[in-house]
Structure 1
Amino acid sequence: MPESASSLKIIVTGATSIIGHYLLPRLMNAGYEVHAISRGGEKNPAATGNTLIWHQADIIHPEQLPGVKARALIHLAPLWLLPKLLPVLNTCRIKRVIGFGSTSLFSKANSPDPCERELTVRFSKAEEAIRHHCGIAQTNWTVFRPTLVYDGVRDKNIKRIASFIRRYGFFPLVGEAAGLRQPVHADDLAEACLLALEQPATFNRAYNLSGGETLTYRQMVERIFSSLGKPARFIILPPWMFRGAIRAMTFLPGKRGMTPEMATRMNADLCFKHADATRDFGFLPRPFLPYAKTCRSSPDGWK
């Protein structure tokens, strides 16, 4: 561990996010002083201690970023907000940046939904800007692109499916729902930050980070049924009916993020290899075990 005071400090934007929930305790346990950024002043209840300092700031306004001379910035907020922060980081002499994009960069590039296509453009432009600005400033950057992120509590994907199952006792599918998925646990992504932080092999590279298990959409939902202690019950719908139901649901509170394209994607493969991450910094994600407290039983696996 570097000895200077500044090299023991890490700034974390998006600190109250699902990944931040797991990252902050990991950073403190590793001996870092963590400067966590929160837009609304809320704090992460999972992380407390003398080495955790909270700052209220809206990073849409880069000048609000605290002038902390730190070892690195780990950016958990939307990736497209990072490029505007980079000039401020230069004034703080921060030379290491880790940010999170998404494999949606690839999987939604040809989506019929214009909002989803616009999302991929934002990710692409953000990565390009990070490469450009960090290259000029000689800042070592790494971008992680996770697949479907979950922890069963704070995520928007697995939690949504589980909530539906709890309420209705069944789940609707389109056709065979045979599209392949690789859910990745938020804690594994937090660990990836620690593993890559001081690893030169990861400098100035982007990595796809997928989960430790590949399964069909139907198998994924069956696993959620099982983890809830419920028998798997499905209603198979034609695509037009499923799309209509989703369109109707978008008018309900908290459902605006749902799109009709979800019906098509149930039978589309959304798989990305993480072999480069395993090779360069030892990324070994757990299998998909929703609502199970998994821990690493050996250097090579989880139980």
Structure 2
Amino acid sequence: MDVSKTLKTPVLVLGATSLIGRHLLTDLRAAGIDPIAVSRRPPATDAGWLDADLADPNLADGLPPVGTVFSLSPIWLLPAALPALKARGISRLVAFSSTSRFTKLASAVPEERAVAESLAGAEAAVERFCAEHGIAWTILRPTLIYDEGRDGNVSRLAGLIRRFGVLPLSGRGEGLRQPVHARDLATGAQAAAGAVAAENRAYDLVGGETLTYRQMARRVFEGLGRTPMMISLPPALFGLMLKLASPVLPGATAAMGSRMGVDLTFDSSDARRDFGWAPRDFRPKF
């Protein structure tokens, strides 16, 4: 698809330094579109960036006119910025949320439940504002995002494997996963922005394969060129191990272990139908 003919310009990319943002900017520029990239920490050597904070009440003063906006920042930051974007002429919005809205809603960890609630509340606020102001919106909810060497999910596993050579699992690691590459998400966002069928809808975006956690980990070993070595631990012992390792594994929680045996799967058939969603299989290379 020639995005230069389907996107309403000018194009603004919020959260452009994110995993998806780097791919989206590259693809837009290759298509002949000169996007305006927004970040609180823009690269010092790259032109075409705006240093801006979505929470700034004077945000509109620093923004140029916009047509299409891709929001890659945490979606709970977006509602406060919508009035400024409306003032600058937005007519099309593609915003990323997360399937964590559903998978963490009943988590035993209060912070994870709070994230799920924030995602759901922000989505509702975005939909409501856009409906009131005639802005065509699309919300995309990826599953497990990866981008070799850059993400905090699959690449974190790779880092543990490099460090220890073996990967402990909680139980047999039979919970299903659908890892999705950041580049595919950038491609999907552009396709959704240009598809009339995708207007005013939300989509769950999954990767090209559904794998058990153990199979996913095996693919990470293979992507590192290593022989898979995994140890199944009783869930209680795994949870204790994570708790003890928390000083050297920031963000690790017992809930991570319990989820290894839980299916976290979604359906992207509507995205395939409406804007040609076609993600790659999970074959990471590090």
Letter in 1 for 2:259: R
Q: What are the within-5 Å matches in structure 2 for residues 1-303 of structure 1?
A: 7-42=8-43, 53-64=48-59, 66-252=62-248, 255-291=249-285
Q: What's 1:299 paired with?
A: none
Contact map agreement 2:11 2:66 (CA 8 A) in 1:
yes
Q: What's 1:296 paired with?
A: none
Give CA-to-partner distance per residue, 1:87-113, whole Å, 9 cap, x none.
111111111111111001111111111
Cα shift at 1:40 = 2.2
Alpha-carbon spacing, 1:183–1:264, altered in 2? closer, same or farther (3 Å) = same
Give CA-to-partner distance per residue, 1:184-241, whole Å, 9 cap, x none.
0000000011111121111111000000001100000001111111111112211122
Alpha-carbon spacing, 1:268–1:2, altered in 2? closer, same or farther (3 Å) = closer
Aligned to 2:156, the other structure's residue is in SS state helix
Alignment: residue pair count: 282
Aligned to 1:229, the other structure's residue is in SS state coil
Contact map agreement 1:19 1:76 (CA 8 A) in 2:
yes
Letter in 1 for 2:139: V
Contact map agreement 1:173 1:235 (CA 8 A) in 2:
yes
Cα shift at 1:7 = 4.1
Aligned to 1:165, the other structure's residue is in SS state helix
Aligned to 1:189, the other structure's residue is in SS state helix
RMSD over aligned CA atoms reads 1.8
**Structure ranking higher on relative contact order (CA contacts 8 Å, 6+ apart):** 2
- In structure 1, runs of 5+ residues without a counterpart are 293-303
Aligned to 1:256, the other structure's residue is in SS state coil
Cα shift at 1:2 = 7.6
Contact map agreement 2:19 2:182 (CA 8 A) in 1:
yes
The alignment-based identity, stated in percent, is: 42
Cα shift at 1:31 = 2.1
TM-score between both structures, scaled by the size of structure 1? 0.89
Contact map agreement 2:59 2:84 (CA 8 A) in 1:
no
- In structure 2, runs of 5+ residues without a counterpart are none
Give CA-to-partner distance per residue, 1:156-200, whole Å, 9 cap, x none.
011110011111110001111000000000000000111111211
